[in-house]
Amino acid sequence: MALFGGGTHTITIITEAVDKASGRLRKVSETIRQVNTQMGTQVETTRKLNERTNQLSLATRRSTRGMHQFAFEFLGIMFLGMAIQRMFTGLIKTSLEWVGVQEVMSSALGVLFLPVALQILDWAILFFQWVSELSPATQKFLGWIALGGIILGTFLFILGTIVLGLNSLRLALGVTSLTRWALGMAGMGNAATIAKRKIMSLGLTLGRVFGAALLFGLALKDAAEGQLTAAIGDVLMGIGFLKGGKAGIWLMVVGIGLKLLGDEEFLISVLKIFFKVVDFALTLGQTIADAIIAGITLEK
C-alpha cells in the first residue's frame, strides 16, 4: 500500500510539474503569437513603404526622362530659325511699310488693349505722384543705386558673353583630335570658367563696396548738416552692408532706426512711401475685385 501511496504522490508531483510546464508553454506561445502579430504589422508597413518608394522612383524617372532625352543641339536649330525668320522679314519689311500693314496692325492692337492701357494709366499716375513727392536726397540716392546697377550689369553682361562664347567653342570643337590648338581652346575654356567664378565673387564684393560707399557719402552729408544721429546710422548701415550675414543685418537694422530718428526728412519720406504703397495695394486690390465681379456678371 505504501508503494501505491508513494506512486500516487509521485504521479501527483509529475502532474503538477506538467501543468506548470504547460502554463509556461502557453505563455511562451502567447508571446510568440504577439511577436508574429507585430512582425506581420511591420511586414505590412514595410510593404506599403516599398510601394510608395517604387511610386516615387517611377515619378522621378518620368520627370527626369525628358531631361535625359533633351537634345541641346535643338538650341542651335532654334537660333538658325530665328536668323532665317529675321532675314526674310527684312526682305518683305519695305513692302509692308509701303502699303501700311504695320500701321494698321499697330492701330488694331491699340484698340484691342485700350481698356487695359487706361487702367495701367491710372496706376502710372499714382506712381508719378509718389515719385514727385520724394525728397531730392531720396531721389539722388535712388539714382546712384540705379547707376551702380547699370555699371554692374554691363560688366557682368560683357563677362558672361565672353565666357559663354569660350565654353561654347570648347564644347563644339571638343578634344577628340589631340591637336595643340584644340587643347589650347579647351584649356582656355576651363580657365575662363574658373575666372568667371572668381570675377562673379569679385562683382558681388564690388557691389557691396559701392553700396557702402554711397552710405558713407550720405553719412558725411548728414554730419555736415549737423544730423549726427543720422550720420551714425548711415555708417552702421554701410558697415552692415560690407559685413553681410546675421551681424550685418542687425547692424543695418540698427542703422536704419538711427537714420529714422536722426533725419526727420528721411522719416517723412519713408512714411510717405509706406502710405503710398498701402494706397496703391488697396487700389490694385479694388481694381482686381471690380474686374472679377464684372467678369462674373458678364458670364451671367
Residue 137: predicted pLDDT: 76
- In sequence order, the 6+-apart residues with CB closer than 8 A to the CB of 266 are 135, 137, 138, 230, 259, 260
- In sequence order, the 6+-apart residues with CB closer than 8 A to the CB of 222 are 228, 230, 231, 234, 262, 263
Residue 129: predicted pLDDT: 83
Higher pLDDT, 72 or 211: 211
Whether pLDDT at 103 is above 80: yes
Cβ neighbours around 192 below 10 Å, total: 19
Residue 33: predicted pLDDT: 74
Backbone angles phi, psi at 70, to 5 degrees: -70, 130
Cα–Cα distance, 84 to 89 (Å, whole number):
8
Task: Answer for the pair 230, 259: CB distance below 8 angstroms, yes or no.
Answer: yes
> How would you class 182 by CB atoms within 10 Å of its CB: exposed for 0-12, middle for 13-18, buried for 19 or more?
middle
Kindly state the DSSP code that residue 227 receives in the 8-state scheme. Answer: -
The 3-class SS string of 203-222 reads: HHHHHHHHHHHHHHHHHHHH
Cα–Cα distance, 96 to 277 (Å, whole number):
45
CA dihedral (17, 22, 27, 31) positive or negative: positive
Cβ neighbours around 230 below 10 Å, total: 26
CA dihedral (149, 152, 154, 160) positive or negative: negative
pLDDT digits (tens, 9 = 90+) for 214-266: 777 777 877 777 777 777 887 888 788 777 777 778 887 888 787 777 776 77
Nearest-Å Rg of the Cα atoms of the chain is 39
Lowest mean pLDDT among 6-10, 50-54, 158-162, 266-270: 6-10
Q: How far is CA 156 from CA 182, 197, 206, 232, in A?
A: 27, 11, 12, 33
- Taking alpha carbons only, the member of 123, 149, 128, 253 closest to residue 210 is 149
Q: What angle do CA 61, 62, 68 make, to 5 degrees?
A: 75
Cα–Cα distance, 155 to 270 (Å, whole number):
32
Cα–Cα distance, 273 to 161 (Å, whole number):
38
pLDDT, the chain, mean: 72
Going from N- to C-terminal start, the domains of the chain cover: 142-287
Whether pLDDT at 185 is above 60: no
Residue 175: predicted pLDDT: 46
Cα–Cα distance, 166 to 156 (Å, whole number):
15
> How would you class 224 by CB atoms within 10 Å of its CB: exposed for 0-12, middle for 13-18, buried for 19 or more?
exposed
Pull the grid cell for residue 15: 502532474
Residue 183: predicted pLDDT: 47
